[in-house]
A = this chain, B = another copy of it.
Amino acid sequence: MKDRMIAALAQKAKDASRELALVDTRAKDKAIIAMAGALRKNVSYIIRENAKDIALARKKSLSSALIDRLTLTENRIRAMADSLSQIAKLKDPIGEVIETLLRPNGLLIKKVRVPIGVILIIYESRPNVTSDCIGLCLKSANAVILRGGSEAIHSNIAIFSVLNKEALKYRIPEGAISIIKDTDRKIVDGLLRKEGTIDLVIPRGGESLIREVAKKSRIPVIKHYKGVCHTYVDAGADLKMAADICFNAKVQKPGVCNAMETMLVDKRIARAFLPSMIRRFQNAGVEIRGSEEVKKLVKGVKPAAEADWYTEYLDLILSVKVVSGIDEAIAHIMKYGSYHSDAIVTCNKKHAAKFLSAVDSACVYVNASTRFTDGGEFGKGAEMGISTDKIHARGPMGLEELTSYKYIVYGNGQVRN
């Protein structure tokens, strides 16, 4: 029964995606702007539905951090609407000619940006993901199937209903936006077997969710793993600049994937840099977990265990290691990191160049905070998330990264010899 339901839903999305691919930019933008308006008009309805999720979360004694992520306020809903208005203003990637080739035999080949087709998004907790994904997929002419976490099901369905109802008024095809209302986990397994109908899966959430999806899926997956981000303070660094960058990377917003989790410091400057830096962190409430050398230099630092170097704290905790130089720093990052965002602070151009080419992460920085890894900061306007994959899209995923391409070939009778 459920299998048939899943097949029907996926096929409906596929059919809708074909129609959606032909909808012009103006029509898509008009729909998205109207959808932003509908969100603003339905603030109280959405808050009422959200209250049901919060009540259930309290009953289940979920953590206050999770309940905070779950909670929708008038301001948060307005921010979701503003984000949609923002997406309407972005350049439409569909139809863009990426490359034009005139071949010696007269064939004119155009490489043209097209939608991917049907995208399944599997996510947890934050209900604003629902509207962001709908906006980004609609603008890039992809049909979207949403599968949010059960803890936010009322909120997600409410947001979906408001947006989809408005979209249909603007002749966005039925099925272009859909949501899985059944929280049974088997539904996900069934969806992940719909290769050929669903074109791409984007899981967003905890590591175990992502691993599970990558393991089960027969459909291509673009993973948004954790960010174990490093800053390496080189012997050639401006120490004042290094301190400001490290402080910002850890403290400004510790709960996000581009925040620094490990600071690596060249032994030649450890004595000059670490004591005041660690004091500054501690004054801001950051717990320091240090290697042996760090503990020797600064009193009252907890020891870092091997597991710490692999850990994404997403919290005011920082692991700190003294390294023998740039080579050890690079080796540490390649061993323990998650290839998300890593930075070097140095005025030594050779070291900067070496770090930038040897560190195989989506975003590598010299003399800046890793916190800049973000669609908005990269000029993409809005983002689907940060890909830690190397296939298709890497780093911040904006509208362009939600497209594929096709080759359109114009001839006048050419045949092959």
Contacts and interface: CB of A to CB of B under 8 A. Distances in A.
A368 B411 contact: yes
A200 B366 contact: no
Contact of A364 (B199, B222, B408): B408
Contacts of A378: 101, 103, 109, 407
Interface residues of A, number: 68
A107 interface: yes
Given A409-B363, A416-B377, A390 B116 contact: yes
Interface in A180-218: 195, 199-200, 214-215, 218
A409 B220 CA distance: 29
A18 B358 contact: yes
Contacts of A247: 415
Query: Which one of A116, A117, A409 has the highest number of Cβ atoms from chain B below 10 Å of its Cβ?
Result: A409
Interface string A372-397: 11000111000000000111101100
Given A379-B101, A395-B406, A220 B218 contact: no
Given A21-B357, A356-B408, A394-B407, 18 more contacts: A103-B377, A107-B368, A199-B391, A200-B391, A215-B218, A220-B220, A220-B392, A248-B415, A249-B415, A252-B415, A364-B406, A365-B411, A366-B409, A367-B411, A368-B409, A372-B414, A391-B391, A391-B404
Interface of A: 18, 21-22, 101, 103, 107, 109, 114, 116-117, 195, 199-200, 214-215, 218, 220-222, 238, 241, 244-245, 247-249, 252-253, 334, 356-358, 360-369, 371-373, 377-379, 389-392, 394-395, 404-417
